[in-house]
């Protein structure tokens, strides 16, 4: 990429998601931004371009000044390159905090769990599913503020009472009914929320293996239960452990039906 792009000056590249490249850039006033760019091969796919821009449209529509959702600036084409501009956020990902067992996480885990529940509830209240809740898509600022990013897979809730053609998200955070039947509703995000909580509390996933095929098989097999949270961390309060296990139940009917009830039970924990 050239040093100048869409009126911004590129200062450096940063690690991006599978189909996007990320760059830190500054404007004429030296304000920092992140530019997301679809890679060249993906940009040739009409559906991929539409998904990319739809995510930006949803983000622009629902953000409304909330500190827990990444600020959207603009999107468009630079030549034939689809791009999106977001405000730069000084942060690390939740994945980094889990990987290094950072005190910021371990000392404030309930704060992060509640922040995550609140932002998911807000997205749902605006009529959307995020469908890509995972530690890599959660930024954590030095002050502990969590910020949700990457709405590329987000869709209106009403679409998800029907079958979907493509399985969205990262396998470990996708519920069995989506993997098997290609269906999802609010409980898909609740499942992903539960997996994130499980990792924050135990530093591992409920299903792990060297091969993604094995992980997927365990996730969808009703005879393979997830490892109980308290088996990995006995210090977790029973009520919190029960909440997390309810969120990641294999049968969607055994999960919380909406995030409001998750927050109700989190508030009862204190």
Beta bridge partners of 72: 86
How high is the pLDDT of residue 213? 87
For 167-208, how does the pLDDT look when each residue is reduced to its tens digit (9 = 90+)?
778 889 999 999 998 889 999 999 999 999 999 999 999 998
Which whole-number Å values give the CA distances from 228 to 6, 26, 147, in the listed order?
50, 47, 28
- Do 178 and 167 touch, CB atoms closer than 8 A? yes
Same fold: 4-87 with 92-269: no
Instruction: Indicate the domain borders of the chain.
Output: 4-87, 92-269
23-47: b (≥16 Cβ within 10 Å) or e: bbbeeeeeeebbbbbbeeebbeeee
What pTM, to 2 d.p., does this model score?
Answer: 0.95
Distance CA 2, CA 12 (A): 11
Residue among 190, 185, 187 nearest 162 (CA): 185
CATH of 4-87, one of 3.40.1080.20, 3.40.50.300, 3.30.200.20, 1.10.10.10: 3.30.200.20
For 87-135, how does the pLDDT look when each residue is reduced to its tens digit (9 = 90+)?
999 999 999 999 999 999 999 999 999 999 999 999 999 999 999 999 9
CATH of region 92-269: 1.10.510.10
- Mean pLDDT along residues 139-151: 97
Using the predicted structure, report yes or no on whether residue 24 has a pLDDT greater than 60.
Answer: yes
What are the backbone dihedrals phi and psi of residue 112, each rounded to the nearest 5 degrees, phi first?
Answer: -70, -40
How high is the pLDDT of residue 60? 96
């Amino acid at each position: 990429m050239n040093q100048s792009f869409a009126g911004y000056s590129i200062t450096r590249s940063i690690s991006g998601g599978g189909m996007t490249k990320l760059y830190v850039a500054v404007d004429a006033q030296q304000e920092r931004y992140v530019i997301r760019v679809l890679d060249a091969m993906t940009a040739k796919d009409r559906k991929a371009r539409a998904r990319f821009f739809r995510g930006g449209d949803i983000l622009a529509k629902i953000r409304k000044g909330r500190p827990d959702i990444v600020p959207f600036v603009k999107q468009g084409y630079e030549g034939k390159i689809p791009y999106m501009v977001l405000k730069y956020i000084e942060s690390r990902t939740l994945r980094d905090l889990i990987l290094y067992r950072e005190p910021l996480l371990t000392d404030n885990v309930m704060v992060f769990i509640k922040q995550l529940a609140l932002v998911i509830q807000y997205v749902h209240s605006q009529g959307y599913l995020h469908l890509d809740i995972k530690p890599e898509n959660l930024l954590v600022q030095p002050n502990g503020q969590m910020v949700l990013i990457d709405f590329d897979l987000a869709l209106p809730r009403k679409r998800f009472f029907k079958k979907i053609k493509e399985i969205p998200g990262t396998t470990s955070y996708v519920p069995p009914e989506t993997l098997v039947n290609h269906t999802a509703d609010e409980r898909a995000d609740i499942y992903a929320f539960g997996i994130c909580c499980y990792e924050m509390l135990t530093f591992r996933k409920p299903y792990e293996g060297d091969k993604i095929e094995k992980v997927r098989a365990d996730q969808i097999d009703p005879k393979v239960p997830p490892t109980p949270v308290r088996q990995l961390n006995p210090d977790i309060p029973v009520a919190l452990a029960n909440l997390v296990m309810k969120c990641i139940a294999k049968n969607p009917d055994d999960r919380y039906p909406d995030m409001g009830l998750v927050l109700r039970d989190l508030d009862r924990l204190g």
